[in-house]
Amino acid sequence: MRITLSQLEAFYWAAHLGSIHAAARHLHLSQPAVSARIRELETTLETQLFERSRQRVTLTEIGMSALRHADQALQSSRQLEHFRKDRSPSGKLRLGADECSATVGLTAVIAQIKEHFPSLELEITVDVGSVLNQKLNAKELDIALLTNPSTGPEITDSFIGWMPFAWVASPSMPVHANPFQPQSTHGMNIATHSAPSTLHAVVESWLSAGGAKAKSLSTSNSLALIARLVAAGHAIAILPLPLLQDMLATGVVRSLPCDPPIEPAGFYISYMTAAQNSGLDAVVELARDTLLRLSFLTADRDGNRLA
């Protein structure tokens, strides 16, 4: 197994900040992701780099030596990045994102763009995927983070991973079906995006797989509002799993194990093909790497995580 820069970054910041939590916050990653990368590095080096307590991590003697090498490797990486900056794009970048990627990953992408391409002026649009598709094809956006793009010949769609979904309901709502099936939705209000949208299509596809059809459907273009309706017990919904992590962890909503499984949606970075040679490819690469580090997508339809 080869050592990766992401492993070295996790090790470096945990060592300098003194905790996995602080390193995760600095890198815009989850604590399990940072811990996993450090464990992978320790496995590759066949040594223990930290003494771990409940709240803090302390370098071992070997860890101190390894930190010097990690620092040198990361400095070399930054020098290469500065080399790329000399050829980096400038001017205005019109960046779009659907609400899920905006909630989970957009701030990290923006932070990385500002760090690596400081001369870029960012113009941000957050909307549903159908609107982002329209804006891309109308050349009103340069790049968009979205699910299931339906863009034209002048747009390049770069696949990143799969967006998983889950049925959710308020803990107070009496949903006893286990597993939850299409016929179980009878008499229930379902909240979802307006058509046409990925979320609306996911709901309709899951219901039709069991020969069911929603009799009571509340639509909104706001995932946040849909989530609040669910938490208040006014509706059930299919929502992107990355958006639900905190709500599930705090018990604000509960997931409903379902049959059939909900098909995930492909997640893409879409951008103007003609602008690629102007340096947009460097921005796309940076956004792609940032989203992969966040680990909120899956590598396949079965839910296996991206490496």
Express each pLDDT in 29-56 by its tens digit.
888 899 999 999 999 999 999 988 777 8
Instruction: Give the strand pairing for 155-163 and 265-272.
Output: antiparallel
Query: Best-predicted range by mean pLDDT among 42-46, 151-155, 175-179, 273-277?
Result: 42-46
Spatial distance between the Cα atoms of 15 and 21, rounded to a whole number of angstroms: 11
Report the pLDDT value the prediction gives residue 100, as an integer from 0 to 100: 81
At residue 205, the 3 state secondary structure works out as helix
Domains and CATH numbers, the chain: 5-85 (1.10.10.10), 91-163+265-294 (3.40.190.10), 165-255 (3.40.190.10)
- Cα–Cα distances (Å) from 186 to 181, 190, 214, 256, in that order, read 10, 10, 8, 15
Q: Check whether 181 has a pLDDT greater than 60.
A: yes
CA atoms within 13 A on the CB side of 2: 3
The answer to whether 300 and 292 have CB atoms below 8 angstroms apart is no
Nearest CA-CA partner of 113 in 149, 139, 88 = 88
- What is the four-CA torsion angle of 255, 260, 262, 263, rounded to 10 degrees? 160
- What tokens does 79 get? 């020098």
**Model confidence pLDDT, tens digit, residues 282-302:** 888 888 888 877 777 776 666
Alpha helices in the chain (DSSP H): 5-17, 20-27, 31-45, 61-85, 99-101, 107-116, 129-137, 198-209, 223-231, 241-249, 280-294
- Write the pLDDT tens digit of every residue in 80-98: 665 454 455 668 899 999 8
- Report how far residue 241's alpha carbon sits from residue 230's, in angstroms, rounded to the nearest whole number: 14
Q: For the chain, give me the number of helices (H) and strands (E)? A: 11, 12
CA proximity to 120, closest of 111, 128, 130:
111
Amino acid at site 284: V
Instruction: Report the percentage of the chain scoring pLDDT > 90.
Output: 34
pLDDT in tens, 246-258: 899 999 999 999 9
Please state, in angstroms and as integers, the Cα–Cα distance from residue 117 to each residue in 5, 92, 175, following that order.
Answer: 20, 11, 50
